[in-house]
Amino acid sequence: MASLKELKGRIVSVKSTQKITKAKKMVAAAKLRKAQAAAEAARPYAERLEGVVASLASKVGASDSAPKLLSGTGKSDTHLLVVLNSDRGLAGAFNSNIVKAARDKALELQAQGKKVQFFLVGRKGRPVINRLFPGQIIENYETTGIRDIGFEQAHEISAKVMELFEAGAFDVAHLFYSKFRSALLQIATGQQLIPVPAPAEAPMSSGAAVEYEPDEEAILADLLPRNVTIQIFKGLLENAASEQGASMTAMDNATRNAGDLINKLTIVYNRTRQAAITTELIEIIAGAEAL
């Protein structure tokens, strides 16, 4: 059994940890409101743009003159998985869920005889991916030291992805991130990024001819790279909100567990102290009777 000094030291240590987790929870809660507002504000534009580009893909995707970002390379031998993670821990299963979704997709593609490569954003998913798929990470994007990841970082990431695509490094790109639902629920999500997937349900045609102003090529030349950037930007914003929500929940659970542990240690400490006092009294009484 631990001594009174050891028990007291453990209680002091757990109380210090509890103060840290409680402070971390309050910081995450303060950041969550801003991150959630940014993620929810970006969704309508990103989803609408994705729908417009997908509609175009269903109409002109098979055309020989269609851009490669829209129609693809004509094959699907090599797949690039763009995995968005964070640089920090203490966020529960936030990072591991994203890595698990990417891992499952990679194993599925490899079972089909496809070649898989990874484009990693953030540090937390790197050790696991590197262990499971050694030599298959072709790009790392460092976010360490960036306080607020925003559109500038999304543009840099999308530029590197499109540069790899134009160089023929892959045929299909997938994006993995955590979609924010609430502080208690974040869903690891994967979506095809390049080429743009056609909608599952073909949009109803009105029969009217569509005229493009300026011409179709000029519109697509601006719209398709913009869509890649916006989808990555949406993923970064969703990740930021999900990370704070997961961190707040994890720190709240840690604070409660620390409180429960303090109560248990306090009970053990009091019982041990009472037993020590009782033992001393018995020894004193026994010594007095012996006299």
Can you tell me the distance from the alpha carbon of 131 to that of 111, in angstroms, rounded to the nearest whole number?
Answer: 18
Query: Looking at 24-28, 158-162, 207-211, which range is the least confident one?
Result: 207-211
Q: What is the pLDDT of residue 193?
A: 86
CB-based contact 178:94 (threshold 8 Å): yes
Residue 213 C-alpha from the chain's centroid:
39
Domain boundaries, the chain: 42-199+207-247
Q: Which CATH superfamily is domain 42-199+207-247 in?
A: ATP synthase, F1 complex, gamma subunit (3.40.1380.10)
Contacts of 101 (CB under 8 A, 6+ apart): 176, 188, 189, 190
pLDDT at residue 25 above 60? yes
- Binning pLDDT at 50, 70 and 90, where does residue 212 land? low
Give residue-wise pLDDT tens across range 186-200.
Answer: 888 888 888 877 666
Query: Looking at 12-26, 53-67, 179-193, which range is the least confident one?
Result: 53-67
Share of the chain above pLDDT 70, in %: 87
Can you tell me the distance from the alpha carbon of 159 to that of 40, in angstroms, rounded to the nearest whole number?
Answer: 24
Q: What is the pLDDT of residue 65?
A: 64
Two structure tokens written together for 176: 């993995």
Give residue-wise pLDDT tens across range 126-157.
Answer: 888 888 888 888 888 877 656 677 788 888 88
Residue 37: CB atoms within 10 Å: 12
Q: What is the pLDDT of residue 168?
A: 84
Two structure tokens written together for 93: 């299963």
Q: Which residue has the higher pLDDT, 158 or 196?
A: 158
Contacts of 246 (CB under 8 A, 6+ apart): 91, 92, 93, 94, 178, 186
Q: What is the pLDDT of residue 29?
A: 87
- Global pTM reads 0.80
